[in-house]
Amino acid sequence: MTVQTAKPHKRFEWDRFFAWFGITLVILLSIFPIWIVLKTALSSSTTLFEGASRILPSEPTLDNFKRVLGMVSAEEALKAGGSGQSVNFLKAIKNSVVFTGLIVLGQTFFSALAAYAFARLKFPFRDQIFTLFLSAMMIPGIVLFIPNFITIKNLGWLNTMQGMVAPYILMTPFAVFFLRQFFLSIPRETEEAALLDGASPFMIFWKIVLPMSQGPLATLGILTTIGMWNEFFWPYLIGKDEGVYTLPVALQQFQTQTPQGSPDWTGLMAGAFLSIIPVFILLVVMGKRVIESLAFSGGK
């Protein structure tokens, strides 16, 4: 009996061809809209209409970027097709950085502290509290958003940064669960020597456990950064004042501010491109890590 192992060498491998074809197509489809964003952002609103079907902007200009960053006067912006009462994107970028930064730092730190206690320290009701934390992962956002909105309103924190970061800055059940899993996997011997030397639990946590956990902390940090940078619903509910708009809210508001007729596409796309840049940098600088983190987020 002969087992046929290899196909004749010269034959064209259709399956490989289709695999490459599919991958190439998907990548082109992924990049194309982003290219159109940039192209539109670089077009002047007057040449935009004739150049809709062209691949390159007909007369490249940086005016739209200057406009959305508030570097031109309201009258000039109006002339360029803007709404005149344009959203301040520079402020929105700052707000997004503060909003995301505070949450990533706070949530990671406080969740790590709690996760360490759940993994290593004994205290009353430890396991019950942890189970309660876990069960909260099932509650859909909308169920919590409505009562949380009322809490923030009663605190007088509407339209403030503290109102926007409050629900996220101290913990998420996922962050605690994820870090606890990792801390459980650290062998106890690593901490025992320090314990014998009389180090406090916080020093052990701070000087030994955290430095050992850079990988999981980075994974969590990346997932939180992406999630919060793109979060819309909550900042939209709480931050109705232009001074606290984050980028997604600013973009949405900029679109709805459009005077009658067609939206200010060139300005909008300039704003859109600005909000892509940080994500793009994250991907270029930490590509592998980002991919691994995302693959993990969907794993078990």
Partner 1 sequence: MNPSEATPEPTVFRTVNRSVRQEAITGLLFVLPAFIGFVLFYLYPAIRGLWISFTDWNMLREPTFVGFENYLQVFQDEKFWNALWITFKYVLLNIPIQTLLGILLAVAMDRVVKSTVIRGLMILPYLLSNVLVALVFLWLLDPSLGIVNAGLQALGLPKQDFFVSTDQALPTVAFVNIWRHAGFTALLFYAGLQSIPRSVYEAAKIDGASENQTFWRITLPLLRPVTVFVAVTSIIGSFQIFDTVAVATNGGPADATKVLVYYIYENGFAFFKMGYATAMSMVLFAILIIFTLLQLKFFRADQSDLA
The residues in 94-133 that bind partner 1, with binding defined as CB under 8 A, are: 110-111, 113-114, 116-119, 121-124, 126-127, 129-130, 132-133
One residue of 8, 147, 156, 211 binding partner 1 per CB under 8 A: 147
109, HSE (Cβ side, Cα atoms, 13 Å): 9
One residue of 174, 183, 245, 265 binding partner 1 per CB under 8 A: 265
Q: Does residue 281 bind partner 1 (CB under 8 A)?
A: no
Kindly tell me the number of DSSP H helices and DSSP E strands found in the chain.
Answer: 17, 0
- Gap between the Cα atoms of 205 and 195, Å rounded: 11
Query: Using an 8 Å Cβ cutoff, are 260 and 266 in contact?
Result: no
Q: Name the minimum Å distance from CB 201 to partner 1.
A: 5
CA distances from 242 to 94, 215, 236, 268 (A): 12, 37, 11, 16
Considering the complex, state which of residue 167 and residue 216 has its C-beta at the smaller distance from partner 1: 167
- Gap between the Cα atoms of 187 and 210, Å rounded: 14
CA dihedral 191, 197, 202, 206 (to 10 degrees): -60
- The amino acid that residue 165 corresponds to is V
| Site stretch for partner 1 (CB under 8 A), options 69-77, 80-88, 210-218, 266-274 | 266-274
x/- letters, 186..225, toward partner 1 (CB under 8 A): --x---x--xx-x-xxx--x--------------------
Size of the site for partner 1 (CB under 8 A): 109
Closest-CA residue to 44 (of 85, 91, 84, 76):
76
- By CB under 8 A, the residues from 233 to 262 that bind partner 1 are 233, 236-237, 247-249, 251-252, 255, 262
Token couple for 185 = 């996997």
Considering the complex, state which of residue 75 and residue 141 has its C-beta at the smaller distance from partner 1: 141
x/- letters, 148..187, toward partner 1 (CB under 8 A): xxxx-x------------xx-xxx-x--x-------x---
- Gap between the Cα atoms of 85 and 93, Å rounded: 18
Task: Write out 9-38 in H/E/C secondary structure.
Answer: CCCCCHHHHHHHHHHHHHHHHHHHHHHHHH
- By CB under 8 A, the residues from 28 to 47 that bind partner 1 are 29-31, 33-34, 36-37, 40
In this structure, what DSSP letter does residue 137 have? G
One residue of 73, 90, 232, 241 binding partner 1 per CB under 8 A: 232
CA distances from 78 to 42, 81, 88 (A): 17, 5, 14
- By CB under 8 A, the residues from 12 to 31 that bind partner 1 are 15-16, 18-20, 22-23, 26-27, 29-31
Considering the complex, state which of residue 23 and residue 71 has its C-beta at the smaller distance from partner 1: 23
Q: Name the minimum Å distance from CB 238 to partner 1.
A: 11
